[in-house]
Amino acid sequence: MAIEKKKSFKPRTARVLAIVFLFIGILLGFFNVPSYFDRFLAWSGIRDLTGFTFQQSLLHFPFRLGLDIQGGTHLVYQADVNNISTSEQGSSMEAVRDVIERRVNLFGVAEPLVQVERGGAEWRLIVELAGIKDINAAIRLIGETPYLEFKEARPDAERDQILERQKEGKMLNEDPYFLATELTGRHLKKTELSFNNQTYQPEITLELTDEGKVLFAELTKKNIGKPLAIYLDGAPISAPVVREEITGGKAQITGDFTPKSAKELVGRLNAGALPVPIKLIAQQSVEASLGKESLERSLSAGIIGFILVAAFMIFWYRLPGLIAILALLLYTAIVLAIFKLIPVTLTAAGIAGFILSIGMAVDANVLIFERLKEELRQDKGLQDSLEEGFRRAWTSIRDSNISSLITSAILYWFGTSVIKGFALTLGIGILISMFSAIWVTRTLLIAVLTKRAQNWKFVFFSGFSK
């Protein structure tokens, strides 16, 4: 393996770079916790002069918090696509997504997520509603989304056969009277409410799309003299007998409606009838206060963890330890800024992954410093020992981090949203730590190494040197 001798830069360059790092760290700190910056602006009087606050500026990116932290609900629906040809399943699911999105928007949830997911032959719809108070109402409203179908009468022979079997207690799920057709709520363009001139009964007019128009014409032509049933959510609401072929693409429902229920139905149909039926197969809901608690706990775990690591590093490695902790602070600032910019959704597990990466980030430093001590024991000069320590530790830092990255990548692929969060934060952490632990620490160490420091070798040894 080719070992390149890295050229070290001069202490002066290193000092300039060190100051640059310090500034970047402070800037990122403000970026991460803008409220402190605003407090500073208010205190210094700049806010009164310019009216500028960081949190209202374009530079303000909030952290994106996961459902388990801000409270909310994660719903998984399974779509029943049995009646749709394989080639059209994708577009039908997109239609479902649009409809659900419109419904979800009615609750005024900030950034709702509605996503189509395909698992093998199954189509699923993932709905995530963050920070909503009445989760149950939301689920009810999504679940109640009407599913509209047009059905034609079964041939008599088939009907009798099914009725016969049903007497024996078989085929109970089969509707003996009507057969599903291709025409469904997917072909609905507009719904209108009107009242019959003579009976004053409410009537619902369904206007069909162009494709629906053709299907409806075929269907009515085929079924002249026979009933054509309109089903809502699997229940028949009206079954008028077809008198003639209808080519205008308009159908009327005169069911057993009160004016109020008719109006509601029209509203729901206009918001969108679902082209395929969906069923809730999984839900995970967290109440906001529980989420807040787990955020507070995660944060305190992070702070305690950081303090413990810092205390240990400074106790054991003295000056280099202190510098490693400065690099770790910069590391924390960079990673948090990346979380804001991408943005990474922070879940309790994700924060745990980040905290874990704080512990792992100093590993590279531990490796380097142990090497450094070995070199120093051989009575090499500080400068040389430093270069050697960094150079020799590199291969093991590289190999060990790559194996951790492999696991993060696989976890990300394997993951449900909880695990994805963990894998992503851990992976980002590992990547950034390679930069901060090696490059930043090295620069800072060179920056503080003056000629005089040669006499202070003791600050480079551990509390318990052998």
Partner 1 sequence: MNIIGHKYIFLAISGILILGSFLALAFWGLKPAIDFTGGSLLEVEFSGNRPSIESVKSKLEPFDLGNIIIQPVEKKGMILRFKHIDEALYQLIITALGEQEASGKQPESGIRNPETVITKRFDSIGPTIGRELSRRALAALVLASVGIILYLAWAFRNVSKPVSSWKYGVIAVVVAFLHDVLIPVGIFAALGNFRNVEVDALFITALLTILGFSVHDTIVVFDRIRENLRILKGSEPFAMTVEKSVKSTLVRSVNTSLTVLFVILAIFFSGGETVHYFSLALALGVVFGTYSSIFIASPLLVIWNDWTKSK
Residues 180-219 that bind partner 1 (CB under 8 A): none
Is 463 one of the binding residues for partner 1 (CB under 8 A)?
A: no
Among 26, 59, 224, 406, binds partner 1 (CB under 8 A): 406
Task: Give Cα 344 to chain centroid, integer Å.
Answer: 8
Q: 238 vs 401, which CB is nearer to partner 1?
A: 401
Interacting span for partner 1 (CB under 8 A) from 166-174, 420-428, 431-439, 444-452? 420-428
Place of tokens 């299907």: 215
Residues 279-298 that bind partner 1 (CB under 8 A): 280-287, 289-290, 293-294, 297-298
The least distance separating partner 1 from the CB of residue 415, rounded to whole angstroms, comes to 8
Residues 423-452 that bind partner 1 (CB under 8 A): 423, 426
Which H/E stretch holds residue 148? Answer: strand 148-153
Among 122, 158, 164, 174, binds partner 1 (CB under 8 A): 122
Residues 307-366 that bind partner 1 (CB under 8 A): 308-309, 312-313, 316, 348-349, 352, 355-356, 358-360, 362-363, 366
CA angle (353, 298, 407) in 5-degree steps: 10
The least distance separating partner 1 from the CB of residue 232, rounded to whole angstroms, comes to 18
Residues 46-105 that bind partner 1 (CB under 8 A): 68, 76, 78
The least distance separating partner 1 from the CB of residue 371, rounded to whole angstroms, comes to 8
Distance between CA atoms of residues 306 and 314, nearest Å: 12
The least distance separating partner 1 from the CB of residue 466, rounded to whole angstroms, comes to 9
Distance between CA atoms of residues 396 and 402, nearest Å: 10
315: tokens are 């106790």
SS3 124: strand
Is 370 one of the binding residues for partner 1 (CB under 8 A)?
A: yes
Binding residues for partner 1, total number by CB under 8 A: 73
Give, as one character, the DSSP assignment of residue 241.
B
Interacting span for partner 1 (CB under 8 A) from 46-54, 230-238, 335-343, 409-417? 409-417
CA distances from 346 to 94, 98, 127, 149, 353 (A): 28, 27, 18, 42, 10
Strand 345-346 to 64-65 pairing: parallel
Measure CA of the first residue to CA of the last residue in the chain; give whole Å. Answer: 32
Distance between CA atoms of residues 291 and 132, nearest Å: 12
Number of CB atoms found within 10 A of residue 5's CB: 7
Interacting span for partner 1 (CB under 8 A) from 133-141, 156-164, 172-180, 258-266? 133-141
Q: Is the dihedral of CA 231, 232, 237, 240 positive or negative?
A: negative
Among 140, 170, 221, 457, binds partner 1 (CB under 8 A): 140
The least distance separating partner 1 from the CB of residue 107, rounded to whole angstroms, comes to 16
Is 130 one of the binding residues for partner 1 (CB under 8 A)?
A: no
The least distance separating partner 1 from the CB of residue 136, rounded to whole angstroms, comes to 6
Q: 34 vs 350, which CB is nearer to partner 1?
A: 350
What are the residues facing 345 on neighbouring strands? 64
Q: 204 vs 424, which CB is nearer to partner 1?
A: 424
Among 180, 418, 448, 453, binds partner 1 (CB under 8 A): 418
Is 113 one of the binding residues for partner 1 (CB under 8 A)?
A: no
The least distance separating partner 1 from the CB of residue 313, rounded to whole angstroms, comes to 7
What are the residues facing 129 on neighbouring strands? 73
Task: Give Cα 126 to chain centroid, integer Å.
Answer: 10
Interacting span for partner 1 (CB under 8 A) from 146-154, 204-212, 266-274, 408-416? 408-416
Is 141 one of the binding residues for partner 1 (CB under 8 A)?
A: no
Interacting span for partner 1 (CB under 8 A) from 44-52, 85-93, 197-205, 388-396? 388-396
Q: 93 vs 349, which CB is nearer to partner 1?
A: 349
The least distance separating partner 1 from the CB of residue 396, rounded to whole angstroms, comes to 4
Distance between CA atoms of residues 105 and 266, nearest Å: 18
132 in Cβ contact with 73 (< 8 Å): yes
What is the number of H-type helices and E-type strands within the chain? 14, 13
227 in Cβ contact with 239 (< 8 Å): yes
Number of CB atoms found within 10 A of residue 192's CB: 14
